[in-house]
Structure 1
Amino acid sequence: MRLIQFETAQGQRHVGVIEGDVIQVVRATENTRELALSAIRQGHSLADEVHARGCEPSPDSYRRTLQEGRVLPPLDHQDPAHCLISGTGLTHLGSASTRDKMHQQNAADQSAMTDSARIFQWGIEGGRPPAGTAGVQPEWFYKGDGSIVVRPGSAFQTPAFAEDAGEEPELTGLYVVGDDGKPYRVGFALGNEFSDHVMERRNYLYLAHSKLRNCSYGPELRVGDLPGHLTGMSRILRGEDVLWEKEFLSGEDNMCHSLENLEYHHFKYAQFLRPGDVHVHFFGTATLSVADNIQTRPGDRFEISMAEFGEPLINGLQAAAPELKAGKVNTL
């Protein structure tokens, strides 16, 4: 089952089940969060909750709704401060190669390894523990709250101080914290984590700065488990031309951490277990255009696709409005 959140031409919110180009509108349901919390309270699955409520076809096609920019992120919170965007890096086999070809380091010589290479090696050795046990913790980063999320089809804003505006094609896990204070995975979606890789590569301690950018995920939320091996395509279009494209791999078969281990090391922190909150967690990638010396510019479009997630995630790129100038913080 694949779900979307969308608006009608009159601005009313709905949740829909995607069946080809038809949107089956879930009755009496304005958002996925409320649908998920109801399923938790009833003690059954999200799919069971959808079936219990029933559906009816939308008069608008899915393709038209996408083209008109009325498809929303597939899970959000009405208060953006209660939606936490986070992620983990160095999680995919080969991902260290995008950080200055770290895979060429001699893994046996710990003294010759950078901190990033060392964490990647720890993941290979201990990131897939037996079920129900904790493995080594991954690199983790905070990206922002729900206010940074760009809906599918809309443009990322790149600030004037940015040194790069690069895509990151990733799987995202979408979660709701139940009334019982426990996290529940609602499903998965395609994501573009969008970061400043030039800034990050100046020094790994700049990673935190490089992640404070927009992001997007969707348009569809896939309910249920994922195949172990997933193949997608990441593209950058400039006008009608393909500037760059490359296949990317994901799924647990292509990762050095299990999804269970990544989820544990996020939700082990009590501050992430506030009932009703939404969490969007990016699981990482090993494929970046910046590794091929691609420089994006306003007007470019990013397209991330994977057959298992239906329609591609497409976002444009534009310059942001002027930001705070140095020395302009006011004193009270």
Structure 2
Amino acid sequence: MAERLEQVAGHLSNTHSRGLLNGEVAIITGTYFQDYKYAKGIGRSAALLFAKEGAKVVVSDLDEKKAQVVVDEIKAAGGDAFAVGGDVGSEEFPKKIVDATIQKFGKINHIVNNAGFTYDRMLHTMPDDAFDIIMKIHVRAPFRLVRAAAPYMRLKGDDRLANRSIVNVSSVAGLHGNVGQANYAAAKAAVTGFTKTIAKEWGAFNVRANTVAYGHVLTRLTAAKESGATIEIDGKKVALGVPGAKPAGTSLPADAKSFPHIPLARPGTADEAAAAMLFLASPLASYVSGHTLEVTGGMGI
């Protein structure tokens, strides 16, 4: 045991000196971004940040052209990445992205299940398809991707000493519920149980699994619904955003009167949200597993 702890400590020290994720491979889903002043998308910010810390990043999104834009940004900054397009909910997606990752980089260290969207309706008017698609994308899709990656993460011998983790994205809606989001709240609550199960089943292989639960972060999901942002699901356009929300960029700097429910008196940015993902994936969290990290500015305390 003492010898193993020394090996882990040495790996931690060496990795940190060259970047928190130096040489590691990370799959990040949902890297779509909107051209808002502050709302650039958590997935994009995470991809850029992971690459900056030395990771080789597999950038994935429904629209491969948009994913490629993020790849180009990473490469322009001297990083290494490639794009994999596709619907995370499709039957063939997990095998497609896992096979592509292994062919390109030969290993998988981290999976960040970030892809998702909202499909809001009041409970008594919510159709079955609105409930089912949210569960499919937020719960079934991460489960299938993690399962597909199992042969490359449940390693034995010296290979198990490598830094490996799963980071799943939840929300304050999953912790406390939210009006108009019975589907989203149920899905995000399920993510927490799923993550804890991975932590218990894969801990023996030195794979950590954690959840990050976001509050009000400036992205396309919290931008004004009137801005017209949509996503196409099964041939139908689903409107994104919050009705009457303040336009992105008007809420910073802090304004306590505008955000009385947030102790920090402002929404978070995508970069701040991505930093939490980096922490959970990095060796700085080497003894953190099965945890739900609330990134909310204090909302809900």
By percentage of residues, which structure has more helix? 2
Task: Considering Cα pairs closer than 8 Å and 6+ residues apart, tell me whether 1 or 2 has the greater RCO.
Answer: 1
Structure ID, larger Rg: 1
So what's the TM-score if we normalise by structure 1? 0.23
TM-score if structure 2 supplies the norm length?
0.25
More strand by share: 1
